[in-house]
Structure 1
Amino acid sequence: MMLIQFFRNKCIGCNYCVEVAPERWQMSKRDGKCVLVGGKKKGNMYQIKVGEHERYVNEQAANVCPVNVIRLD
């Protein structure tokens, strides 16, 4: 299992994560920021545990994020 953590309050809505991993990331029409699909709010972040089969695309999403708001554990 892998934990994805997303600090949405610092997201600038660049859409890069959506382009590389659209099954886990979407753009919000409400405020133009990204949404971690299935993520649950915990403090100032959203998080979700996913299987290892999602590691590669989410590593790409984290790597292309210009403000480094996606963390993987």
Structure 2
Amino acid sequence: MQETDVKRRFYSVEDVQKIFNIGRKKAIELMNSDGFPVIRFGRIYRVDSVELEHWIEQHRGETLT
């Protein structure tokens, strides 16, 4: 089974950039914000895809800076 056949469970900073169409600096700011579903392994950031969907639903219609 190829990776494209299975939805990945965790996203990287680069994935978050693509999902939200934002730059790296803004993606890292977002990932450091309170309540964002990020897991940190030292300097490595990973976002749980299921929790990200919940987070997006909770913040729908909000303006985030």
* TM-score normalised per structure 2: 0.30
Higher relative strand content: 1
Higher relative helix content: 2
Please tell me whether Structure 1 or Structure 2 has the larger radius of gyration of its CA atoms: 2
* TM-score normalised per structure 1: 0.28
